[in-house]
Amino acid sequence: MLDRIIVNTLYLVPLQVNKFKKQHPDIEVLIADATKARRVKSNEEVQYEMGWATARRSILMLTTSGLFCGDWTIPLSNIQDATLLHISGGSLLKVSTTDGLHYQFGLQRNPAWEEQKVLPLNVQQGALKFSKTSFILRLLILAWLAYIISQDYLQNGLSISGILYLILFIWISRPLLRLLKFSKTH
């Protein structure tokens, strides 16, 4: 909950909603959250991959008429399938349209998405998998950081830079640890 408040504040969600309401006074905004969003070629499995690095950072608004994200407008009548996938650290909304378009929206967890009544959602629990590229890149970065941390520790003991590298190492390795934990429980 606190994560969502912080992220929505950083993305200026209340200001963006007010701006939207002034431009569209006849449309009721039901939910508005910060998102990382991307349009994908097919209804592919959601995973850690390079495409998320260049994903659109914006506000996703669910209104009585559709989904709005930046210059994307997805009318409710065009939505063929919508799945809300609860993942560690948040949620991911997958949307397929009758036009053959597919969207993925990374969100902080917000119970309002499950409580709303205008967008029929299939809610699932899950975990993100890794693309081969993402997995290999993450392992290479972790090996490089481990080397830097060990060299810094041998030369300087526990220095400030060593602590910062260690924090970075832990942050980058967290998704891998979650993946291992999730695969053991299921």
Which of 34-43, 54-63, 109-118 has the lowest average pLDDT?
34-43
Q: pLDDT tens, 45-56?
A: 675 566 666 778
- pLDDT at residue 131, as a whole number: 59
Quote the mean pLDDT of the chain.
Answer: 84
Question: Is the CB of residue 105 less than 8 Å from the CB of residue 36?
Answer: yes
- pLDDT at residue 99, as a whole number: 92
Is a pLDDT exceeding 80 seen at residue 4? Answer: yes
C-alpha torsion 142→56→59→171, nearest 10:
0
Is a pLDDT exceeding 70 seen at residue 78? Answer: yes
Half-sphere exposure of 100 (CA within 13 A, CB side): 1
Average pLDDT score over residue span 2-31:
91
How many Å apart are CA 22 and CA 25, to the nearest integer? 6
Question: Is the CB of residue 170 less than 8 Å from the CB of residue 149?
Answer: no
Q: What phi, psi does 120 have (nearest 5°)?
A: -65, 120
- pLDDT at residue 149, as a whole number: 84
- Indicate the burial class of 76 (C-beta count within 10 angstroms; 0-12, 13-18, 19 or more): middle
Is a pLDDT exceeding 80 seen at residue 93? Answer: yes
- pLDDT at residue 172, as a whole number: 75
How many Å apart are CA 114 and CA 108, to the nearest integer? 13
Most confident region among 67-71, 120-124, 159-163 by mean pLDDT: 67-71
